[in-house]
A and B are shown apart, each in its own frame.
Chain A
């Protein structure tokens, strides 16, 4: 069982790194790009015996308490 956690900056928070990446992408000639936002991706391997519900609950807790800072970030959990 694997939990995938995506951590992204809240839409209201400016992302200077994403802006710099956007600028570099434009330098490559991609003119149709409107915006780039940088985030983080985590893979959490869980014991195979864990139910999907428990896996989701555990991953949500880890995302909330460790992986994301709720002041500036949102998170999303997928179970695979």
Chain B
């Protein structure tokens, strides 16, 4: 099993992801520079957070033209796992690997704090170690996390159980007050229709050690590891 962490100019959560995969998940992992076009040998790719290309034009808009992204599209089309966090989620939306878009937070603030998210679907390759309804404490750090899509797309996301995480309060209620950025339907993370590409704004790689205030993010990476084991068996 091998993970790849894609590195764009301006990525800044690549080392966090690498650390978690190597130390807490205990799997081999490489950094993959954005000019690389051969992704053979990898079982899953992490598209990490940060400010790729300085967030110029729109967050994630220029990263989608990096040479690696065509290979990432082929990788995803082959059914392999792709996991975008924060800026990685924005990039996957811009690249058309996930539906919708992430806009400026409705409160206009850069919000950097722990939030609660509820697991909406515990039967995905990324959440099999979690239960539906479970509440996780995971930090967010973004100014453009306000998820939007048209009504038809939202209905499809609901019908296909593609909404994986929603912002909620500590009791698991998805209230307006618990929504840190104005996201449609409190959406914090979504899956593609095929179920192998996940994007989420909260940073599970920053929530894998008690020392950092929460280790609720670990089970997401552990779920993914199990899914890879199953897929290559």
Contacts and interface: CB of A to CB of B under 8 A. Distances in A.
Interface of A: 12-14, 16-17, 20, 66-67, 69, 71-72
Nearest to A38: B104
B106 A71 contact: no
B94 A69 contact: yes
Contacts of B93: 71
Contacts of B182: 14, 16
Interface of B: 57-58, 61, 65, 93-94, 99-101, 103-108, 146, 148-150, 182
Contacts of A71: 93, 99-101, 148-150
What are the nearest 5 A-B pairs in CB distance? A71-B101, A72-B101, A16-B106, A16-B108, A69-B101
14 contacts: A12-B150, A14-B106, A16-B103, A16-B104, A16-B106, A16-B107, A16-B108, A16-B182, A20-B108, A66-B65, A69-B101, A71-B99, A71-B100, A72-B103
Contacts of B107: 16
A39 to B, nearest CB: 12
A12 B103 CA distance: 13
A33 B149 CA distance: 29
Given A13-B148, A16-B182, A69 B58 contact: yes
Contacts of B65: 66
B105 A16 contact: yes
Contact of B108 (A17, A67, A69, A72): A17
A71 B93 CA distance: 10
Contacts of B61: 66, 69
Contacts of B149: 71
A67 B57 contact: yes
